[in-house]
Structure 1
Amino acid sequence: MKENRVIWIFLILTQFAFSQIRGVVKDSISGEPIPYVNIWVENETIGTTSETNGSFSLDIKEEKLLVFSALGYESKKSSSKNEIILLKPKVFELNEVVVTFPKKTKELEIGEAHKVHISQLSGNKPWIYAKLFNYDEKYMETPFIKKIVFYSNSDIKGAKIKLRIFGINDSIPSEDLINEDIIVTVKEGMKKNTIDVSSYNIEFPKKGIVIGLEWLIIEENKYFFTYKDPKTKQKVSLENYAPSLVINHSPDEISFTYSKGRWYKHKRHSSNYKKEWNNKVDTPAINLILTN
């Protein structure tokens, strides 16, 4: 009887300590659910992504302030007690612009990304891994972005990841240049992914452009990563979300991480593992294919 009491007390305390909050994100005008919304606990690394039906869940210990961010919508902060979150669509001012269309007679691939068997796991946070492409005058002959290439290594079939395209301001990624979700489905294993973005007619900005890959913390991306603990020699299984992203090592500080509601620039680091990595920056393996 005493043992049973101990078990019940443990279960009650566990449920209290790790309560799960659930909710749905919807468009404030149409009432339609919004998929793939980036959701963070304010100023913390805890986060998730809304599913295709707008639903989400988070395991948190107490009431928190959540930050909701989605392309085409105004960001919103809301208490974790609220079950329905309404996001307001952004109103975009249309400036008078001269529209030019690519001829697509030339191509130039830039970025020096290549396939290596080193990759970055996502963990279980909807963070963004990004790479800066600085402008060069030689791009004047091929000023439009035709395709985006990135290398992935996925443990599951059909993992989804969100492609983001940013401007840059004061050495930090700024506004999205495309105000709609570009969801990419990658195949299992080590793959080269090529995404045609020519329909957006993106002209290479003189300040540079940042290409980001945002992990989606959704059920269809979930798998368990198993490794052997070097100390205990025991197998450990951790929840993770596909796909992993291939990493290159750059001599230039051109990579960023978006986490806890802000951008962090990656710095050069010392490496004792391989000399060729020493004083280099971990950078996602991303290339651009330009056209005229």
Structure 2
Amino acid sequence: MKTLLTAFLTLISCTCFSQIKSIVIDSHSGLTIPYVNISIENEKKGTSSNANGEFELEVDQPKNVVFSAIGYETVKIHSDSIFGKVALKQLVTDLNEVVVSSSKKKLKKSIGKFKPSKIHYFYSLHSVPWMHARYFAFQEEYESTPYVKKIIVYTDSSIENAKFNVRLYGVNEKGEPEGYLYHKNIIVTAKKGGHKTTIDIADLNIEYPKTGFFVALEGLLIEDNKYEFEYHLSNSNQKRKAKRYEPLFGTIASDTLDTNWVNYMGKWSKTSKLKDLNLKRYKNKYSPLAMELVLSN
């Protein structure tokens, strides 16, 4: 009887749990797609494809898996249907979203300068893919320097050469991020420690949209970014093991700057003021990404 019960429980375990191991490819070219955002629908669980487009994902029961990659249609695929390769279709590029032309880049203007010494609150990545985005409105004074030359963010990493992705979005009628300004990944490497990380996009010749735009930072749930550590429980000598995926992204504290959005489990929502926080500088304040834009002509 005991043997039959063990076999029955083992069967249930095998039925309800599966390890998906696959590779994401372009449906037209057949080339692999790196750093795809992959999440289980309505669950706080996900991963990212690595530099070779490969990924592994544990699914405790059959569910829809959501695949999101810049320049490709977002799709939902049932976990039982994922075998071998997952093919994504490219989005049709709207040429009106990006203005490409030559420019002399003699004039410069900076927006959103920040001091690293003032940064004490960070966005971190643990088990669910997310993106944090900051909105930059257009001002008439930017017309003399209409091209986005550099994006400067504050990163803090416990490992060397942590990678993250940058997505550039337009804005829809509801004020949400929508529509790509650039249809490819912008993969950035963050040094170990706390730094201002500069992303030079001058070669893309992206003109500042009159409706404003979003700069989104996308954490990558890849093995190379994993950092394992131990921490003490509060008021105790006990230690717990934990992991996160580097780097961390610094934020500033603001009473009025409610320009930050988060894409969590595939949905965009506006971030609210921080409550119940021990950091006095940030309590009851907004925490937009510490981010500076350098414009040129």
Query: What TM-score, normalized to structure 1?
Result: 0.90
SS in 2 for 1:67: strand
Matched, 1:199 2:199: no
SS in 2 for 1:105: coil
SS in 1 for 2:272: coil
C-alpha distance in 2 between matches for 1:274 and 1:96:
40
SS in 2 for 1:121: strand
Q: Which residue of 1 aligns with 2:268?
A: 263
Bigger mean CA offset, 141-150 vs 263-272: 263-272
CA RMSD, 1 decimal? 2.6
C-alpha distance in 1 between matches for 2:71 and 2:279:
43
Q: Could you report, residue by residue, the CA deviation over 1:75-116 in whole angstroms, capped at 9, with x for unpaired residues?
A: 222111212211122233546997543321121111133312
CA contact (8 A) 2:149 2:294 kept: yes
C-alpha distance in 2 between matches for 1:279 and 1:212:
23
C-alpha distance in 1 between matches for 2:251 and 2:4:
51
| Structure 1 residues 171-182: aligned runs within 5 Å | 171-182=175-186
Q: Which residue of 1 aligns with 2:296?
A: 291
Q: Which residue of 1 aligns with 2:111?
A: 110
Q: Which residue of 2 aligns with 1:37?
A: 36
| Structure 1 residues 147-226: aligned runs within 5 Å | 147-169=150-172, 170-226=174-230
C-alpha distance 43-230 of structure 1, shift in aligned 2 (>3 A): same
Pairwise CA distance, 1:264: 1.0
C-alpha distance 62-150 of structure 1, shift in aligned 2 (>3 A): same
Letter in 2 for 1:221: N
Q: Which residue of 2 aligns with 1:63?
A: 62
CA contact (8 A) 2:71 2:180 kept: no
CA contact (8 A) 2:97 2:181 kept: no
C-alpha distance 104-42 of structure 1, shift in aligned 2 (>3 A): same
C-alpha distance in 2 between matches for 1:35 and 1:97:
23
C-alpha distance 188-11 of structure 1, shift in aligned 2 (>3 A): farther
SS in 2 for 1:277: coil
Letter in 2 for 1:277: Y
C-alpha distance in 2 between matches for 1:93 and 1:139:
24
C-alpha distance in 2 between matches for 1:135 and 1:78:
38
C-alpha distance 234-13 of structure 1, shift in aligned 2 (>3 A): farther
CA contact (8 A) 1:108 1:142 kept: yes
Matched, 1:132 2:135: yes
Q: Which residue of 2 aligns with 1:254?
A: 259
Q: Could you report, residue by residue, the CA deviation over 1:139-163 in whole angstroms, capped at 9, with x for unpaired residues?
A: 1221111100001000111110001
Matched, 1:88 2:82: no
Unaligned runs of 5+ in 2: none
Q: Could you report, residue by residue, the CA deviation over 1:128-177 in whole angstroms, capped at 9, with x for unpaired residues?
A: 01111111122122111110000100011111000111111221111110
Q: Which residue of 2 aligns with 1:240?
A: 244
C-alpha distance 206-145 of structure 1, shift in aligned 2 (>3 A): same
C-alpha distance in 2 between matches for 1:19 and 1:232:
37
Matched, 1:46 2:49: no
CA contact (8 A) 1:271 1:277 kept: no
C-alpha distance in 2 between matches for 1:156 and 1:19:
31
Unaligned runs of 5+ in 1: none
CA contact (8 A) 1:256 1:265 kept: yes
SS in 1 for 2:141: helix
C-alpha distance 19-289 of structure 1, shift in aligned 2 (>3 A): same
C-alpha distance 96-143 of structure 1, shift in aligned 2 (>3 A): closer
C-alpha distance in 2 between matches for 1:64 and 1:79:
6
C-alpha distance in 2 between matches for 1:229 and 1:202:
47
* Percent identical residues: 39
C-alpha distance 227-254 of structure 1, shift in aligned 2 (>3 A): same
Matched, 1:121 2:124: yes
Pairwise CA distance, 1:241: 0.6
